[in-house]
A and B are shown apart, each in its own frame.
Chain A
Amino acid sequence: MRDMPTELSPVPWAHTPAAAPVLETRGLGFVAGGRSLIRGIDLGIRPGRRTVIMGANGAGKSLLLRLMHGLIRPTKGEVLWRGAPLDRTARDAQAMVFQRPVMLRRSVRANLRFALSVRGFAGAERAEREMQALEQARLQDLAHRPARVLSGGEQQRLALARALATAPEILFLDEPTASLDPASTKAVEDLVARAHASGVTVVMVTHDLGQARRLADDVIFLHEGTIAEAGPASVLLTAPRSGPARAWIDGRLYLDDRKS
């Protein structure tokens, strides 16, 4: 019955004997302007995994990400971080990169320093993390340039390095490569892969089926504000069972065929 979105669907991986979810949502709902944009979302994000959230425009992907990160308060249900409501501890363990990187009107390095200061890093450790982040993002030569004159790809690398510099346990990514060319997309994906390899849990929204194939361990497919289907990427991206996911993935393949 996985393909039928229900008001209280089970936690998608409740049956798996893997590690307990690091982040859970229970009966998550969000209503705005009389419209129910997200409803009845129960999910668990397993530590160390890369979870990709997919779905059509307006399915509620970005909203779900923001609810999980605590940027928006749900109108129904709750988000739990290690079994407890979101608080300062949860905030400090999380980081997010937006589709359009938000750069302060300061130098590249000052942008890193700001984020690190907010998260309580100071002195030699902060300086060291700044250098590491610059190196990771391959922006050492641009450290003193104003961040906002960098190219889109450089800014997104900086945004990602800034997020990772604060040593998050979980990284939320909202279509981080949506407006980037293939080379920049590759650079961002490499950074995500390195973060994941070092143990960071990744939750990412994407439209890009290829990206999902490259990066996802688990996939959550949203349809009109509910989970249409959720499961391991190997299953969901090859043999989706729910109507919306199947139609979407088939349609995408069909388009890809026509292109080539």
Chain B
Amino acid sequence: MQSEHGILAAALGLILSGDADLIEIVVLSLRVTLSAVLLSCVIGLPLGAAVGAWRFPGRGLIAVVLNALMGLPPVVVGLAVYLMLSAAGPFGPLRLLYTPSAMIIAQTILVTPIVAALTRQAVEDMDREYSEQFASLGVGPMRRLSALLWDARIGLLTVALAGFGRAVAEVGAVMIVGGNINHVTRVMTTTIALETSKGNLQLALALGVVLLMLALIVNAGVMAVRGVSARAAHA
């Protein structure tokens, strides 16, 4: 049994030496997570903005559902996507199960409600402030949406960040639909779970450190962008 110091030293060694397996896992993690966050933003930003800015029947219900879906249990989403993509499922012929695409789909389902619900809140608050001016000018529904999204851009960076945080840390859903296959669908979180159970603590810890650093870097980057754009727009 190695001492904790020994494990940490070995973990740092893995990171600093640029271990090929480690890099492959980190790159796949980022690919899956960033794709999922991007897709979630493409769907969630306009969806949330529409619920926040437009008045239509059922709007309140959608807002409640979006809020509730923010707390979707990942393993349940994993199971649902698994059933959809499995050979017997409706999307079985696409043969997506146990591919990074399946993981992106599962994470997109998890992250989209977060992006949409938080966007709705941000846009609704801003719409309250703008609505009379917009009505006076005669701003149409589409322009209203784009104007609100643009003016809420700084707050929406944090929304995307919340989505990134959820996706990059997620393990249950990607484990189920990705299968944690070495060199194919193995990402940081599933590797940490697997290697820890195998007693291979160096790699697990090394990945843990990378995961934390990524979270830090992404947060710092977003904070910096926020600062710059806040000075430019004074939100």
Contact = CB atoms under 8 A, between A and B. Distances in A.
Contacts of B135: 70-71
Contact of A119 (B133, B138, B150): B138
B232 A146 contact: yes
Interface in A38-76: 66, 69-71
B20 interface: no
B4 interface: no
9 contacts: A69-B136, A92-B138, A105-B233, A118-B139, A118-B143, A146-B232, A146-B234, A148-B234, A148-B235
Interface string A19-41: 00000000000000000000000
Interface string B221-235: 000000000001111
Interface in B137-165: 137-140, 143, 147, 150-151, 154
B228 to A, nearest CB: 12
Interface in A100-133: 102, 104-106, 114-115, 118-119
B132 A102 contact: yes
Nearest to A163: B136
Interface residues of B, number: 19
A36 to B, nearest CB: 23
Count chain B CB atoms within 10 A of each CB in A88, A98, A104, A166 and give the residue with the most: A104
Interface of B: 129-130, 132-133, 135-140, 143, 147, 150-151, 154, 232-235
Q: Which of B130, B132, B136, B138 has the most chain A CB within a 10 Å cutoff?
A: B136
Nearest to A71: B135
Nearest to A118: B137
Nearest to B135: A71
A149 interface: yes
A106 B147 CA distance: 10
A115 B147 CA distance: 11
A96 interface: yes
A196 interface: no
Given A96-B136, A105-B151, 17 more contacts: A69-B136, A71-B136, A88-B138, A92-B138, A95-B137, A96-B132, A102-B130, A105-B233, A105-B234, A106-B150, A115-B137, A118-B143, A146-B234, A148-B233, A148-B234, A148-B235, A149-B234
Q: Give 10 closest A-B pairs by Cβ, nearest first.
A: A102-B133, A146-B234, A91-B138, A148-B234, A96-B136, A105-B151, A105-B233, A118-B137, A149-B234, A105-B235
A114 B147 contact: yes
B233 A71 contact: no
A70 B137 CA distance: 11
A148 B154 CA distance: 15
A230 B139 CA distance: 34
A149 B230 CA distance: 11
A196 B104 CA distance: 60
Contacts of A71: 132, 135-136
Nearest to B126: A105
A106 B154 CA distance: 12
Contacts of B234: 105, 146, 148-149
A71 B133 CA distance: 9
A152 B139 CA distance: 25
Interface string A145-160: 0101100000000000
Interface in A200-233: none
Given A91-B138, A104-B151, A98 B233 contact: no
